[in-house]
Structure formats: C-alpha cells, structure tokens
Chains A and B, each alone.
Chain A
C-alpha cells in the first residue's frame, strides 16, 4: 500500500526565515511525486511534479527536490502570503492517469 508521511505537521516562520518541509514516501513503482498548496476553503493548487530521483523544480520562493525515499519543499525568504497547507502526493500504478495518494500536509504560517 502506498504511504506518504509529511513533517512537520505545522511550522511557524518569521518573514524571511527559510526552511524545508519533508515528504517521505513508500510506493511501488513511483510515476510522479506532486506538491500542492491549499488555502482554507479552497481546493489544492498544483505546484510541482517530480518524476525521478535527483530532479529539482523551482517556482518563485519554492524549490522541490526528490530522492528515492523523500522529497523536500524548500521555502526561501518566505512572505506572509506563503502561509497555507502544503500537500505532498504520490502517483503509482500502471496507468498514467492513476490516483494520487496524499499525505496529511504541513500547515505553514509566516508572520511579519
């Protein structure tokens, strides 16, 4: 059974204080690892897909990296508008459109 574990559950940062969120996974035949951002009352918003160990992707203050066992979401010099829940998910199986298995998320709060 595919498993995704995210840590920490919650993180409070001051504006400008860089940090990393962790996503550990156990899956048979990883097809992709996804990062999403979710604001209260909204659906998850797609950030990145990573496909193979060593891959990195960046978007503004966010950078996602992938190893064979885990992924990190690095947040550089965060701003209050980065406050949200960050979800990690894995896609496995034989079909390219198969389901995602999500972790429980990391709730990030960035204060002034």
Chain B
C-alpha cells in the first residue's frame, strides 16, 4: 500500500482482557518496528523484525507482550492480561533498512479501563 496501515485506530478494552493490534507495512519494506508512545513522550521502542524474525525484542516490557510477522509482511502485536498501564498509542513503522527513515502509521490508541 501507499503507507503503513494500522488497525484498529482505537481500541478500548477491560483490564485483564487480551488484545491484538495489526500493522500492514509498505509493500517491499523488510524491516518492521513497533513503538509505544505515552502522552507527552517520544515513541519508545518495543520490537523490530527483519523479514519474519524478531531481530531485536529488547523493548518488550514483559512476557504479556508478544509480536509476530509470520509471512514477512503483516505484523500483529499481542497483549495478554491487559493492565491500565498498557494504555498508550501503539505505533508501527516500516523501512527499507540501510539507515533510511522509517515510515510510521497513525497508530492504535489503546485504552484499558
């Protein structure tokens, strides 16, 4: 597609529930990133994929967070047993790598009530 697409744009869930956030990167971009942004803060790195494999998952805060990219294109960020502190905007970005700028999606605003 022309840009990075993230769905849903907004998600409200109850504490303790499971959520999945989807990212469709730009076609042909091999690198895909997930970031989390809280109000008034810069994006915080979670995980990055090169192709199908997670090349760096050092930013995942705990084992409730998991991400997959089974065919090297679409990625899903999965959060189990959500907590109120998980509320944030979850941003996805893709890149051709080689030090080029990322293209970000508009994000999914997750609210845990």
Contacts and interface: CB of A to CB of B under 8 A. Distances in A.
Contacts of A105: 42
B4 interface: yes
A4 B43 CA distance: 12
Contact of B99 (A46, A91, A102): A91
Interface stretch (B60-68, B73-81, B100-108): B100-108
Contacts, number: 69
Contact of B50 (A32, A97, A101): A97
Interface in B78-110: 91, 93, 95, 97-107
Contacts of A98: 48, 55-56
A51 B101 contact: no
Contacts of A41: 106
Interface residues of B, number: 29
Contact of B106 (A31, A43, A103): A43
A36 B37 CA distance: 14
Contact of B43 (A44, A51, A95): A44
A99 interface: yes
Contacts of A101: 45
Nearest to A47: B101
B55 A95 contact: yes
Contact of B48 (A31, A32, A99, A102): A99
Nearest to B107: A43
B36 to A, nearest CB: 11
Nearest to B41: A104
Given A98-B56, A103-B42, A45 B104 contact: yes
Minimum-distance CB pairs A-B, first 3: A102-B42, A43-B104, A46-B101
